[in-house]
Structure 1
Amino acid sequence: MSNNAFTTDGEWNALYIDGEWVDGGDRDEIEVTNPATRDQITSVPAATEDDVNRAYEAAAAAQSEWADRPPHKRVSVIESALDLLDEHRDAILRSLAIEAGGANAKSFAEFQTARGITQQAADFPFRVGGDIKDSTIPGKENQVKRVPMGVVGVISPWNFPFHLSMRAVAPALALGNAVVLKPASPTPVVGGLLLARIFEEAGLPEGVLNVVPGHGSDIGDRMASHPEADVIAFTGSTQVGQRVAGQAAENLALPAMELGGNNPHVVTEDADVEAAVDSAVFGSFLHQGQVCISINRHIVHESLYDEYVSRLTERAEELPVGDPTDSETVIGPIINEDQRDQMLEYVRESVDAGATLETGGHDEGLFVKPTVLSGATNDMAAACNEHFGPIAPVIPAESDEEAVELANDTEYGLAASVHAGDLGRAQDIADAIDAGMVHIGDQPINDEPHVPFGGVKASGMGRYNGDAILGELTQEKWISVQRERRQYPF
C-alpha cells in the first residue's frame, strides 16, 4: 500500500465496521480542516447511533475467537502494526502536523509515545498471568486466571489523537479484547481511521477493531452506554468524563477515565531559577499548552518571583510561532476558534482582576502568542480553570507550606512538578501534592509507556500504561479443580 494511504491525503471518506470500509452514503459529513490554514483537508462520514450499534455488535461477535488465538498469534499482529508505524513514520508525523496542528517536537514525541505503548503491548499476552491458591477444602486446587474484559469502547481526544487512541487500542487488542473507537471530530483520521488502516494491514481479523468517527453530541451517549461495552476508556474534560462514566456504570462497564488537569509547577527559594524556567517553557508551551498535563500554574517563592517572571517572559517571546509543518516552529495553531476564544477570555478576566500581562495575550487567526501573567492569584480565571493554551500565570508563595496549599487548591489532581535546591525538600513537597504524578527537577509533561499514568480527584480514575493497563483491560477468573472426591455434610 502506498505511503499516501497513511497521510491525510489518502481516501478517508468511510467508516470502518466489521472489517469493511463503509461509504458515507447519505450520512452527514465531518469537514476536517488544517488549523494552521483553515483549509479543508478531507471529509469523513459522521457515524449514526445505528453505526455505533453495528460496530459494537461486530466487536462482540469477533471477540471470543480473537481471544482464543494463541498469544503468539496476537503478538504477530501487534508486531506487524509496529513495523507499519516505523515504515510510515514520516507520513504519520506530517499528518499530525496538518490535522492536529502539532509542531515538530510535539508530533515526534506523540509518535514515539504511541510507538512505545504498541511495543509494550506486543509483550502483554505473555505478561498477563495467573496464580494458584491453596484451598480450605481437601483435594482442591484454586486457579486464578486473567481473561480479557471483552469489548472495549474508546473515546479519544483531539490534542494527542494518535497516541491517546493507540494507548488504549493496542493493549486492548493484544490482551484479546475487541474495540470500538470513536475519535474526536476535529481529528478523525490520525485519531481513528489511520489506526484502522494500520491494523487492517497488520492482519487483524474482521470485526476486532471498529472505528466510528462522529460528533459527541450525536453518538457520544450511545458509545458510552452501549450494553455490549465492558470497558469505556475515555480521555477528555472532567465535565464530559463524569457523564461518560455514569453512563458506563449504568451497564456495569468499567470506566477508565483520564480527565482534566490544573497542574502546578512549584519553585522554592533555593531552586536553580534557570533550570526551573527552562522546564517551565517546555511544560507550558509544548503544543500551545493544549496538553492535559501541561503547566497550568507557576507557583514561585516570592524571593525568586521577579527574576522568574523576567526570565520566563524573555524565553516566551523568543519562541517561533507559525505553521507546524515548518521544522523551526514551536508554537502552532490552536485547534479551533472556540478553544482560542475561551482561553483568551480567561486572560482578559485575569487582567481585569489585577494580573499584569507581561507578554502575549493576543492572537492572529488561530495562533495565540505565548502569554505570561504576573501578579496572578489562584482564583483568577487563567489559574483556577484548565486554560488549555500557551498561558503561564505566575503566582507568588511565601513558604513551602503555602505553595503546597496553593497547588492543592483545585478540584484536579493529575500532574505536578517541583524545583528545589535540596532533593529531600523537593520530595517532601512532591509527597504533599495531591496528584497522580509528580516530577521533581522537571515539568509535568511526562509519559512513559511502562509507567502508570493517571490522576486523582476530578482528574480521573484508573491508570494507563505498563502493568497498570493490564488490570484495566483484563479481569480475574477463579477456576477450582476438585482433584479428590469431596465429602459433603449431607
Structure 2
Amino acid sequence: MSDLELTDADWNVQYIDGEWVPLGDRDTIDVEDPSTRDTFATVPAGTEDDVDAAYEAAADAQSEWAAKPPQQRASVVRGARDLLKEHRDDILDLLAAESGTTRTKGFAEFYTSVGITGEAASFPTRISGDHRDSTVEGKENLVVREPKGVVGVISPWNFPLNLSIRAVAPALATGNSVVLKPASNTPVTGGLLLAKLFEAAGLPEGVLNVVTGKGSEVGDRIAGHPESDVVAFTGSTAVGRQVASTAAEHLATPAMELGGNNVHVVTDDADLDQAVDAGVFGSFLHSGQVCISINRHLVHEDVYDEYVERLADRAAELPTGSAHDGNTIVGPIIDESQRDQMLEFVEETVDAGATLETGGGHDGLVVEPTVLSNATNDMSAACNEHFGPIAPVIPFSDDEEAIEMANSTEYGLSGSVHAGDLGRARDIADRIDTGMIHINDQPINDEPHVPFGGVGDSGMGRYNGESVMEEFTEQKWISIQREDRDYPF
C-alpha cells in the first residue's frame, strides 16, 4: 500500500517544477459540492506568472524525460495506473464531492481512466518508425517518431479525471512534458489529484505541472504560450474555436474535442426493449452532462407513441438527488448557470409546441429527468447541445428523413442506431456524419484502444490508442548516404 493521502489533503496549492507551491498572495477559488452546496475545497487562482513558471519547468524537463529508456517511462505511467486502482474509493468520493458524480457515473469514469492510463503505459515500447528505400543510390531513409515537446492540457468539469488523464498519460508516455489547467469547478479531480498520482509514481520534477485558476484569467496564456507544441482542449465549441485559434498563432498543434448533438435513431423494426434501455442510459447518465450523450431521439412514426410512453415512464422512475446517495442515478447539475440554461431550452421547446411528458422541474441543482414529445429538429432542446437530463423525441417517416434530420447540425461527435436488420442499421450509420456511431447501443462509449473524436464543429484530432500517439509525436526523416554520392557541381 502507498502512503498517498487523498481524503485529508490540502488542495490550496499548485504543482510546478516538482514543488507544491503554497497560496501566497494569490486570490482563491472556492469549489462547491453540487449536492450540498458546501465548500469542498479552496484552490489558488493562478496567474500568468504561474503559467510561465509551469511552462519554463516543463520545457527544461522535457528533453531529459524523453531520453529516458522506454521501460522507465512505462513504469511511471503504470505506477500511476496502479495508484488509481489502489485509491479507487477515495477517488470516487472526490468525484462525488467535487463534480456531483453519482456512483454509477463514478465507476464508469474511474475505469475508463484506468483503461487509458494502462493503454498509455504500453506506448513507450510501441512507438515505431519506418524504413524507406531511397531514389538516390546508396542512400537509406529512416522515418522516426519523436515527442512533440510540451503539451498544454485544458480539461473540462464534466468528466474531470478521465478527460484530463486521457491527455496527460499518453503525453507523458510518449516523452512529452505537460502543463495542465483543470476546470475551475473541478481543480482537484481534474488536476491536483493527477499531480499527486504521478509524483507518487516517480515522475521527475517539472515533467507534469498543474496550474489552477479561471480560464478567463489564465486560459489564453495556456493556449498561446510560446513553449506549447500541442494544446489539448476538451470543452464547448465556442471556447474551442478561440483556443485553437490562439494555439495556431504560435504554430502549436490543436487537439480539440468539442460539443456534440448526438442522435439516437430507432427504426420501426428495432427491438424496443433494447432501444429504450439504451435511450435511458444515453440520455440520463450524469444528468446528461456528457458530450457524447443523446441530445435527440429520432424515432420512426410507427413505434413513436410506444417509445415515448416507455421512455417517459422509465425517466419518471429514475432515483434523483444527492450524488452522495449510492442509489441516485440523476444527481445535481454542476452549477446554476448550466441548470438555468437547460431549463430555458425546455421552456422554449414547450412554448414552440412540444409536449412535456415528464420532468421539467428542479430541486436545487437537481433537474428532473425530462422527456419532450412532438418535438422538431429546430426546437431549442433539440438544435442546441442542452447538456442536461433532457430527451426530445422527434418522429420520422423513413430512413432518408432520419438521416437528413440526423445531419441537420454543425456537430458530428457520436450517435447510435437501433434496427432489427443490421444491414439497414449499418446503412444508416454509414450516412450519418459523425466521428463515432454505435449500432444497437447508445452514444456513450469510450474504449482506450479505439479512436475517439468528432468531425465538423465537434473538433479535430483523435484520442486513444495509435491515434493519440500520433497526436503527441511527430515524424522525423533521417537519411544516411552510405556510398559516395556524385553531385552535378
Aligned to 2:235: 236
Pairwise CA distance, 1:3: 6.8
> Which letter does structure 2 place at the counterpart of 1:425?
R
Q: 1:22-62: per-residue Cα shift (whole Å, max 9, x none)?
A: 01111110101100010001100011011001101110000
1:40-439 equivalent positions in 2, closer than 5 A: 40-439=39-438
One-letter amino acid matched to 2:84: L
What letter is aligned with 2:257?
Answer: E
**3-state secondary structure, aligned to 1:154:** strand
CA distance in 1, matches of 2:257, 2:78: 27
What is the SS of the residue equivalent to 1:41? strand
The superposition leaves residues 465-489 of structure 1 with CA deviations (integer Å, 9 ceiling, x where unpaired) of 0010011000000111111111111
Moved more, 321-330 or 155-164: 321-330
2:35–2:324: 8 Å Cα contact kept in structure 1? no
Sequence identity percentage: 70
Could you say which residue in structure 2 is the equivalent of 1:468? 467
- Asked if the contact 1:301/1:397 (under 8 Å) is kept, the reply is yes
* Runs of 4+, deviation exceeding 3 Å: 1-4
1:11 positional shift: 0.7
Q: Report SS of the residue matched to 2:437.
A: strand
Does the CA-based 8 Å contact 1:101-1:333 persist in structure 2? Answer: yes
The AA in structure 2 aligned to 1:352 is D
One-letter amino acid of the counterpart of residue 294, structure 1: S
Question: Which whole-Å CA distance do the structure 1 matches of 2:196 and 2:20 have between them?
Answer: 10
In 2, distance between residues paired with 1:488 and 1:4? 63
Please say if residues 231 and 256 of structure 1, whose CA atoms lie closer than 8 Å, have aligned partners that are also in contact.
yes
**Which residue of 1 is the match for residue 477 of structure 2?**
478
Paired with 2:152 and 2:64, the residues of 1 have a C-alpha distance of: 18
Please state whether the residue corresponding to 1:26 is helix, strand or coil. Answer: coil
- Offset at residue 324 of structure 1 (A): 1.3
Task: Give the CA deviation at 1:4.
Answer: 7.5
**Counterparts of 1:55 and 1:444, CA distance in 2:** 36
Aligned residue for 2:11, secondary structure, equals coil
CA distance in 2, matches of 1:484, 1:236: 53
Asked if the contact 2:124/2:174 (under 8 Å) is kept, the reply is: yes
Name the aligned partner's letter for residue 209 of structure 2: N
- Cα offsets for 1:96-125 (capped at 9, x unmatched): 111111111100010100000000011001
* TM-score normalised per structure 2: 0.99
Query: TM-score, length-normalised on structure 1?
Result: 0.99
1:5 is aligned to 5
Q: CA deviation at 1:5?
A: 2.3
CA RMSD of aligned residues (A): 0.9
Would the aligned equivalents of 2:321 and 2:328 in 1 still touch at CA under 8 Å?
yes
Distance 1:68 1:2, change over 3 A: closer
Task: Give the number of aligned pairs.
Answer: 489
Provide the rounded CA distance (Å) in 1 between the counterparts of 2:288 and 2:425.
Answer: 25
Supply the distance in 2 between the matched residues of 1:15 and 1:82 (Cα, whole angstroms). Answer: 22
CA deviation vs aligned residue, 1:146-167 (integer Å, no higher than 9, x gap): 0000000000000000000000
**Do the aligned residues in 1 keep the contact of 2:4 with 2:200 (CA within 8 Å)?**
no
Which amino acid letter does the alignment assign opposite residue 5 of structure 1?
E
Q: Is the 8 A contact 1:31 1:40 kept in 2?
A: yes
1:332 to 1:11, Cα distance in 2 relative to 1, 3 A: same
Q: Distance in 2 between matches of 1:364 and 1:194?
A: 30
Cα distance in 2, alignment partners of residues 334 and 150 from structure 1 = 37
SS where residue 5 of structure 1 aligns? coil
Alpha-carbon separation, structure 1, partners of 2:170 and 2:271: 40
Deviation at 1:2, TM superposition (A): 7.4
Q: Residue type of the partner of 2:44?
A: P
Shift of residue 69, structure 1, vs aligned partner: 0.5
Question: CA-to-partner distance for each residue in 1:184-235, whole Å, 9 max, x for gaps?
Answer: 0000000000000000001100000000011011011101000100000000
- CA distance in 2 between counterparts of 1:211 and 1:5 reads 18
Aligned equivalents of 2:478 and 2:6: distance in 1?
Answer: 45
Q: CA deviation at 1:76?
A: 1.1
Cα distance between partner residues in 1 of 2:357 and 2:35: 25
Amino acid at match of 1:47: G
Moved more, 28-37 or 74-83: 74-83
